Structures are given as structure tokens and as C-alpha cells.
Amino acid sequence: MKTPSPEIRQALDKRLLETLPGLGLCAADVAWPNAAFEPKTDRLYLRPTCMFGTTEVPGLGPEGVERLRGIYQVDVFGLLDTGMSETEEIARGLVDAFRGGTRLPCCGHEMRISKAYPGTARKDNGRLHIPVSVVWSCDTHK
């Protein structure tokens, strides 16, 4: 079986898309990888990135399993000089949407979210930036 990298990314992106309306956002507020994007000067936006870690082999033999792990990082870029509450609220909403214990279907397997947490807020390219990291794993048969 091929490593289901695109399917994992799609499952995480789908969860993000499902979460957007509850955050008061839409797909146009997301800087998707390898897609043209021009941020609006009066709105915050998100930038998701799926980072793959090393593959582990917790089970051997013909029914062996490969465990894929990684981090889905969603960067929240808020407006400067408007306070932090809106940007922090979006980051908190993302943590809730991807909270530990969440299970997502993925190409006949189940992806597990072990934890989600916000990083430290900082100024970045004229925006207030809060990264939200989502730690995931997915077992696939070899």
C-alpha cells in the first residue's frame, strides 16, 4: 500500500473546512498550500500546513502496521493594533475542533488526534500570528 499522505492532508483540510463557519470564517479566508492567495487587509486569515514525521512499525508480519505521525499546523494571522481577543478566539476554536481524542476517517483507516495546542502569539509580517499545532497519527497496513 502506498503511504496515504494526500488522503491524510485531505482529511485534516476537510475537518478545517467544516470548522470554518463556526469560527465566522469561510474558505476564502484560508491560504491553502500551492494556491493563489491575497489576504484581505481588514480580515484575519488561516494558513494550514501538513508536516509528516517519521514512520514507525509497531507491528510486524504479514498483518503488520505502519504508524504515520505528523503535525497539522494552522497559522492564525490576525490584525495588528486591534487587541488579541479575536485572534485568540479563533486559535481556541481550532484547538477545540481538533481536540485530543478526535478521530477522523481517512482512506479506510482512522486518524487519531492526540493533542492540539496554540503556540505563542507574536508579530509576523504586519500581522498578529498564533500557530495552532495538531498532533496526529494514522495506522495503515503494509
pLDDT tens by residue, 27-73: 999 999 999 999 998 999 999 999 998 777 766 666 677 888 999 99
Q: How many residues does the chain have?
A: 142
Per-residue pLDDT reduced to its tens digit, 117-136: 999 999 988 999 999 999 99
Single-letter residue type at 129 = H
pTM of the model: 0.89
Q: What percent of the chain has pLDDT over 90?
A: 65
